[in-house]
Amino acid sequence: MLGALTLAFTGFGALLPLAHADDDAAGFPSKPVHIVVPVATGGSADKLTRLIAQGLTERWGQSVVVENLAGASGTIGAARVAKAPADGYTLLQQGEGLTLNGILFDRLPYDGQKAFTPVIQAVVNPQILVVNPKTGIADFRSYLARAKAQPQSISLGLPGNGGIAHVAHEMIAQDTGAQVNYIPYSGGGPATVDVLAGHVDATLITLAAVTDHVRAGKLRALAVTTAYRSSALPNVPTMAEAGLPGFSVESWQGYFAPAGTPAAVVAKINRDIQAVISTPETRAKLEDMGFKVTGGTPADLARTLAGERLRYAKAIQTAGIALR
């Protein structure tokens, strides 16, 4: 799948100048645009997409509707977009989950090699390990110590079975021997609610989903997965600093259109999302949430997909994670 995408978009990048004059995008959009978010409301992907949708609505003069279609590790929402007309009016929000699902599932309700056209990578962000303060876990080292000394004693809410948080924690487990009790959820929002309520001890989740709760003291942040600290929570150490040298996992969020969407329409959506996330007001909001704005071309996103597959495939195979 990824090799095909990379080859396709190497050529696509060269055609972008021609796409500006293409009539396919001249009147786009002339009706509401729908963005499918394949996880539950309240998580980081939902917050990001609603902010972008607001900016696009203002820019286009057409409603941009966010649809949350959670389930089956994001494949239900992805299938909805894969089957939509290739006209740019139905888009998919996805991140590294698109790569992970292609590795994890034996069968998908869409052709992973041909179903989607990359539009833009909007942001990158750390995953952050947080606990309910009542657990008594003070820092990342004590979290690892308890998970090693008392296997399965820590319950960890997963924002999606087989998602980046699951894979990242398995990479932690492979490096340290720490074992926790995974509790899968349909998204970051529901997982966070249960950690806040004390029903679950911890979650590893996109930083932007829990920034406000950490600042308010409702959740205790132990460490971020990236090699760098987040400016949104600068006092939270990296896992490499906190006891796991060399560890680094960076998550991302982007947007896709159904395969066959006219190149000029893809180029217009790319330019306009780039414009929205680049405004000082929106950039400041995203950075305050914990995102790092990236942007870039469809070809850049295709290269990201190709590059991450090998690393995650190895971790998944070692952990024996499989979805059906």
Give me the CATH number covering residue 201: 3.40.190.10
- Flag whether 26 is in a domain: yes
Instruction: Taking residues 62-67, report their average pLDDT.
Output: 98
Spatial distance between the Cα atoms of 52 and 224, rounded to a whole number of angstroms: 25
Q: What is the pLDDT of residues 192-216, one digit of tens each?
A: 999 999 999 999 999 999 999 999 9
Q: What is the pLDDT, as a whole number, of residue 17?
A: 42
Residues 12, 68, single domain; the answer is yes
Same domain, 208 and 286: no
Rounded to an integer, what distance in angstroms lies between the CA atom of residue 158 and that of residue 184? 5
Q: Which amino acid is at 210?
A: V
Does 91 map to a domain? yes
Query: What are the residues whose beta carbons fall under 8 Å from the beta carbon of 258, sequence distance 6 or more?
Result: 81, 82, 83, 84, 85, 86, 90, 115, 116, 117
- Say if 242 falls within a structural domain: no
Residue 17 lies in a domain: yes
Do 147 and 184 belong together in one domain?
A: yes
Residues 53 and 145 in one domain: no
94, 148: one domain: no
My answer on whether 114 and 150 are in the same domain is no
Write out pLDDT tens, residues 238-276.
Answer: 999 999 999 999 999 999 999 999 999 999 999 999 999
Length of the chain: 324
Q: Which domain holds residue 96?
A: 2-123+252-319
Clarify whether residues 204 and 257 are in a common domain. Answer: no
Residues forming beta bridges with residue 90, ordered by sequence position: 34
- Same structural domain, 17 and 119: yes
Considering only CA atoms, which of 127, 125, 126, 139 is closest in space to residue 220? 139
Report the domain count for the chain.
Answer: 2
Does a structural domain hold residue 233?
no
Q: Which helix (H) or strand (E) holds 216?
A: none
Is the model's pLDDT at 87 over the cut of 80?
Answer: yes
Asked which of 42-46, 49-53, 189-193, 226-230 is least confident by mean pLDDT, the reply is 42-46
> pTM for the whole thing?
0.83
Question: Is 20 inside a domain boundary?
Answer: yes
Residues 133 and 72 in one domain: no
CATH code for position 55:
3.40.190.150
Question: Do 19 and 83 share a domain, yes or no?
Answer: yes
Residues 104 and 152 in one domain: no
pLDDT at 106: 83
Would residue 152 count as lying in a domain? yes
pLDDT band at 22 (very low <50, low <70, confident <90, very high): low
